[in-house]
Amino acid sequence: MSETQKSDLPALLCRQVNHEFYAALSYEALAVWCADNEFNGFAEFFRKQASEEGEHARKFIAHMSERSMKPEIGGMEPPRTEFDSLLEVALFARGLELKNTQLIIECYDEANASGNPRSVPFLLNFIEEQVEEEAWAATMVGLLEKCDCPGSLLNLDRHIIQTLG
């Protein structure tokens, strides 16, 4: 079977492209919220994440194009911009990463099930990367849950990039 026939893989990869762009926009929105609330360390961290997610989307587009699959971009909802706390921001970021992992695994499962072996190594790289992404998100949430005063939040903000690498 060719990679574009009798498979949901092209549609799932398109969905992943759009989710990566949605995540990039969401991380930009989180950076704006953090900057507006004077959490400049978190703002910088989320700007970096936004850049990474955009790069991931472009890698998925290139992968699809190299295999004669036409990526369809668009139709995504606007990112969330309102949060009540930095912890709520971190929980939202963790949710983005968990969703991203789920969607990549669905692409991987379909690539295996439909006999698309050339997509498997590409997707495995992203699955492996998601281990790291979920880890920083969980660490961020855990650290923020321990912050019990404004001073601890400000201290964490100063060190968040160093802490999460």
Residue 3 forms part of a structural domain: no
What gap in Å lies between CA 41 and CA 34, rounded to an integer? 8
Find, among 59, 47, 130, the residue nearest to 94 by Cα: 130
Q: What CATH code is carried by the domain that includes residue 94?
A: 1.20.1260.10
- Given a cut of 70, the residues of the chain with pLDDT beneath it are 1-6
Return the pLDDT at 7.
Answer: 83
Return the pLDDT at 4.
Answer: 44
Question: Which domain does 86 fall in, by range?
Answer: 9-164
Is 16 marked within a binding site? Answer: no
Residue 1 forms part of a structural domain: no
Q: Give the total number of structural domains in the chain.
A: 1
Cα maximum dimension of the chain: 60
pTM recorded for the entire structure = 0.93
Return the pLDDT at 109.
Answer: 98
Residue 63 forms part of a structural domain: yes
Percentage of the chain surpassing pLDDT 90? Answer: 91
What DSSP state is assigned to residue 79? P
Q: For 14-36, give one letter per residue: b (16+ CB within 10 A) or e.
A: bbbbbbbbbbbbbbbbbbebbee
Residue 29 forms part of a structural domain: yes
Return the pLDDT at 6.
Answer: 66
Residue 122 forms part of a structural domain: yes
Contacts of 32 (CB under 8 A, 6+ apart): 43, 81
Q: What angle in degrees, to the nearest 10, is found between the helix axes of 9-36 and 86-113?
A: 170
What gap in Å lies between CA 69 and CA 72, rounded to an integer? 9
Residue 4 forms part of a structural domain: no
Is 129 marked within a binding site? Answer: no
Q: What angle in degrees, to the nearest 10, is found between the helix axes of 86-113 and 120-146?
A: 160
Return the pLDDT at 82.
Answer: 98
Is 20 marked within a binding site? Answer: yes
Is 19 marked within a binding site? Answer: no
